[in-house]
Structure 1
């Protein structure tokens, strides 16, 4: 292990680290928004739209992100829609992540006690009020484990962005290995970089899950 090689590569990895964080932040944020909207529409079984969402979820979850990125980046320009690699990566992450988030949130919403729903209806709440004050608040707490797992999963999926030449962490490591043949050093930095991102997130979500569970269920 040559530490001088590692120190010389740090500026490249810092740039890749920042780009990975940015793509993850935007992509996961978009996926959460898509997931919440999709899951609520499915939960309340909105005619036609709920069927379309079900089809979208099945399509996104049963096709690899790699294929989705190839389609966005290489196939869309054929029909006149050309996008940058970063844009394709973000759209791909939102498309895939939105489906997983939708399933996670839907599971939480379905876990809300029927008595809570009936109580809301007895108070005269319409569907929008039920979604806002009853289903969403309690269901979000129940879906916290799925949310945490999906966030971690999507951050790790950014490593696939290297196939469309986005200079994130994995692509940076592969480029440096291809140029200097120092696999041990560059892979070590790659592992450390992902650990710096993921370990604090795991600790945070573990704390958040316990706080939400305590606030909701009192144990």
Structure 2
């Protein structure tokens, strides 16, 4: 292990990690918003929109992120829609992640027994109040494991961003391996930085799940 090489190129990995985190978390936030909207549409069985959401979920989940990125990055400019690599990465991650988040949130919403919503409505609560005070708190606990797994999955999927020339962690590792043939050192730094990004999220997810169960939402 060449530690001098590792120390020399550590700042390059730090910049790549920051780019990966910035684009990754922006894509995850957009995916959560899309997922919530789609899950509510499915749960409420909104006419026409429910079918549109179903088509989107099947299309998104059954095509690779790399294909989606190529379509956005190379295909959209052909019809006059210009974009840069970072926006393309965020959009691709949001498009893919939205479908997975939608399924995670939908499973949580559907886990709440109908008798609870019916009882709340019979007590005079509005539909919005039922969703806010009865359905969402219980659905949250059920959705947390799948939600955190999706966050980790999406952040790992950022490794394909190198295909659209984004200087992320994978691009940096492949570039340095091609230049200096220091495979062990480059892959070591790659693993270390991905662990630094993903391990805290995994731990946070476990703690959050335990806290919600302890608070009684998972009962």
| TM-score bracket for this pair, using the shorter chain length | over 0.9
TM-score with structure 2 length normalisation? 0.97
Tell me the alpha carbon deviations over residues 60-114 of structure 1, each in whole angstroms, 9 at most, x when there is no partner.
0010000000000001110011100000000000000000000000001000122
1:173 maps to 2:164:
no
CA deviations on 1:35-69 (whole Å, 9 max, x unpaired) are: 11110111010111111011101110010000000
Q: Distance in 1 between matches of 2:125 and 2:95?
A: 32
Give the corresponding residue for 1:140: 140
Equivalent residue, structure 2, for 1:28: 28
Separation of aligned partners in 1, 2:90 and 2:217: 36
Unaligned 5+ segments in structure 2 are none
User: 1:66-81 maps to which residues of 2 (within 5 A)?
Assistant: 66-81=66-81
Partner residue of 2:5?
Answer: 5
Q: TM-score, normalised by structure 1?
A: 0.97
Counterpart in the other structure of 1:87: 87
Aligned length: 219
Instruction: State the match for 1:210 in structure 2.
Output: 210
Aligned partners of 1:217 and 1:133: how far apart in 2?
Answer: 12
**Moved runs in structure 1, 4+ residues, more than 3 A?**
none
What is the CA distance between 1:24 and its match in structure 2? 1.3
Q: Distance in 2 between matches of 1:217 and 1:35?
A: 21
